[in-house]
Structure 1
């Protein structure tokens, strides 16, 4: 059966390499496993559709819709102006604004695409006007946008908690520390990079004027700032489940977008709904096929066989963690984060348990690796979107993006693997 699983995985990787749409790739792997193996397609389809009725999955379309509304309603713009008034006049401060704004938006939308979609059109031209190279500005915002996959509530951690039967709140909290550390790294790297750019800085404000503008922007941003407070406070306080919090995010964003920031109209809302529905449909079809394929692997005891084979090669924990990170990073480079988690989490969790790595720490390991894959070619969906929004050639983004990954991401990948407290300390505070 191992040979059939390897064949199915090989077909999957081959089709991905050829550029075949993701659902068809997983469908082909599924056909190989059901035609040659013992599982039946009818049985797997019935099982797969029963899994899609899980209320936990309802949080995904709701967070995607909330993120789309944020992008077009003026909520994101108000957050950007709020952060900019305090640090926008510091050399390199505009880059810090980009990273922090993406983190705040990530704490609302749960998506890695919302940051670049909402912040990019506003901030990339402004950063270029202030002396930043356009390619660097685009790469910085695109890389910071993946913080939406790590700063809770995160759609990927909802999926991880679902497929591994781990507390979703604990999974959220596991990636919070790494996410904030990556944001800090991006800010530091940006401040060093900004020293070689011919930046044009605004005149410093008098303290009284700073207070005046800061007060004005703070008041304007209060409705937007309340959004993460309500969502995260409700989840962490045990008042709402992640699904209920996602629904509240949509309900809250509508009156704020219509009546306070007035960037939302019924026409724009309809277009946002269509855009969200299209994205959600593609995601759920892909989830269905990839979930069925991974379930067949579990049914055929492939994970345990894989663990046994790996321990025949080596039982060194550090080496195995390095290999696991390289494997996850490689998977993240060819498929999106949700697919990578559904496909590999059930396979690798027994190995992690054998190594003494808790499901909570493994959530962080998977989160940072699959998020990094979103800005690493060839998949690099967030980076490709950044190139379109920033109107720059993709090849121009590679160098600044790789610099940010090398100094901003890689250290956190290493830390989250060798230092369990980075991912487990905050969950322990909440009793996990």
Structure 2
């Protein structure tokens, strides 16, 4: 039966690679499993719709809506000006602003697309005017946007926690360490690469003028900075569940956007809602079909057969972790992070348990690998969006993007796999 399961996964990957619409891709894999398996489609569909009623999943559309509102409201621009006050006079400082701002936005929206959508139109032209090549600026901001999938709250970690029955708060904390490390590595690589650019820098301010500017911009950015504090503080303080925190994020973003930053109007509020609704509809259809396919695999005993087959090859933990990372990287190249998690996490969880990797560390391993797929062709949805926003050819964006991935991202992937404390320290510290 494992051969049929692998064939179904192959059909799914092939149809996704060919650009077939997502529901049809899963439908083809489901039909293959249905005709050769012992499960009834009616029973699976009823089970799937019942699972969609889980309140945990409500956090995803709410975080998506909060992210789209934030993109329209001026919150991102305020954060950008505040962070730039610290390093605008430093060579390469504007690139550091991009990485840090995308990390902060990730702590608000839980999405990898919000950073490039909110920051790209503002920062890419500014970086080009300051002497950065436009393709490099686009690649840096696109790569930094994937921090939204790692800096909590993360929509992909909500899915992982739900599908593997792992604490969602623990999953949030597990990816925080790797996410911050990637942010630092991107910043350092940017400072190194900026040496060869002919950059225009701000004048180094005197302390009095500098402190005054920091205070002024900080006061203006305070409502925006308060947003991740409320969300994360509420979750880890035990005051709110992730779903309640997502609702608070929307409730908070609307008046801040309307009355403080005044970037939100009724017309773009409606367009933000429409954009969020379209994204959520696609996500929920994908969740439904991928859940049914995953449940079929479980019903047929595929995870247990997969573990047994892999252990027939090797029982060396290091070799297995390397193979799993390669597998996750390849899957991330052809499907989005949510699809990869919903499809692969239940299959690999028994194997990870068998080799002594906790579900929380597995969440971090899955998170960093699938997030990397967002900027790694052929899927690379975030990279393609960045190229469109930056108005530059994808072929010119790929070389600097690959440099950032190879030097700044891949080392963190292996550190997450082979240094458990990187992902487990914070969850254990908070008692998860």
TM-score by length of 2: 0.99
Q: Helix, strand or coil: the match of 2:285?
A: helix
Residue number in structure 2 paired with 1:393: 393
Q: Helix, strand or coil: the match of 2:197?
A: coil
Residue number in structure 1 paired with 2:18: 18
Q: Helix, strand or coil: the match of 1:291?
A: helix
Residue number in structure 1 paired with 2:253: 253
1:282-431 paired onto structure 2 within 5 Å: 282-431=282-431
Q: Helix, strand or coil: the match of 1:250?
A: helix
Deviates more, 1:23-32 or 1:390-399: 23-32
Structure 1 position 244 matched with structure 2 position 266: no
Residue number in structure 1 paired with 2:55: 55
- Is the Cα–Cα contact under 8 Å of residues 13 and 335 in structure 2 kept in the other structure? no
Q: Which runs of 4+ in 1 moved over 4 A?
A: none
Residue number in structure 2 paired with 1:77: 77
Deviates more, 1:315-324 or 1:29-38: 29-38
- Is the Cα–Cα contact under 8 Å of residues 37 and 300 in structure 2 kept in the other structure? no
Residue number in structure 2 paired with 1:158: 158
**Equivalent-residue separation in structure 2 for 1:24 and 1:192 (angstroms):** 45
CA deviations over 1:250-300 (Å, ceiling 9, x no partner): 000000000000000111111110010000000100111011101110111
Give unpaired runs (5+ residues) of structure 2: none
Residue number in structure 2 paired with 1:209: 209
CA deviations over 1:226-261 (Å, ceiling 9, x no partner): 000000000010000000000000000000000000
Shift of 1:212: 1.4
- Is the Cα–Cα contact under 8 Å of residues 177 and 423 in structure 2 kept in the other structure? yes
**Equivalent-residue separation in structure 2 for 1:143 and 1:9 (angstroms):** 28
Shift of 1:3: 2.5
**Equivalent-residue separation in structure 2 for 1:267 and 1:200 (angstroms):** 37
Residue number in structure 1 paired with 2:91: 91
**Equivalent-residue separation in structure 2 for 1:2 and 1:130 (angstroms):** 55
Shift of 1:194: 0.3
**Equivalent-residue separation in structure 2 for 1:9 and 1:365 (angstroms):** 21
- Is the Cα–Cα contact under 8 Å of residues 26 and 290 in structure 2 kept in the other structure? yes
TM-score by length of 1: 0.99
Shift of 1:205: 1.2
**Equivalent-residue separation in structure 1 for 2:136 and 2:268 (angstroms):** 31
**Equivalent-residue separation in structure 2 for 1:267 and 1:9 (angstroms):** 42
- Is the Cα–Cα contact under 8 Å of residues 140 and 404 in structure 2 kept in the other structure? yes
**Equivalent-residue separation in structure 1 for 2:341 and 2:373 (angstroms):** 12
1:55-204 paired onto structure 2 within 5 Å: 55-204=55-204
Shift of 1:311: 0.4
Shift of 1:36: 1.9
**Equivalent-residue separation in structure 2 for 1:257 and 1:3 (angstroms):** 53
Give unpaired runs (5+ residues) of structure 1: none
**Equivalent-residue separation in structure 1 for 2:214 and 2:97 (angstroms):** 15
Deviates more, 1:413-422 or 1:23-32: 23-32
**Equivalent-residue separation in structure 1 for 2:133 and 2:2 (angstroms):** 50
Shift of 1:145: 0.1
**Equivalent-residue separation in structure 2 for 1:54 and 1:179 (angstroms):** 28
**Equivalent-residue separation in structure 1 for 2:365 and 2:3 (angstroms):** 28
**Equivalent-residue separation in structure 2 for 1:215 and 1:114 (angstroms):** 27
**Equivalent-residue separation in structure 1 for 2:23 and 2:88 (angstroms):** 43
**Equivalent-residue separation in structure 2 for 1:131 and 1:408 (angstroms):** 23
**Equivalent-residue separation in structure 1 for 2:420 and 2:190 (angstroms):** 28
Shift of 1:35: 1.8
**Equivalent-residue separation in structure 2 for 1:131 and 1:199 (angstroms):** 4
Residue number in structure 2 paired with 1:39: 39
Q: Helix, strand or coil: the match of 1:20?
A: coil
**Equivalent-residue separation in structure 1 for 2:280 and 2:362 (angstroms):** 26
Shift of 1:2: 1.8
**Equivalent-residue separation in structure 2 for 1:9 and 1:208 (angstroms):** 62
Shift of 1:21: 1.5
- Is the Cα–Cα contact under 8 Å of residues 73 and 257 in structure 2 kept in the other structure? yes
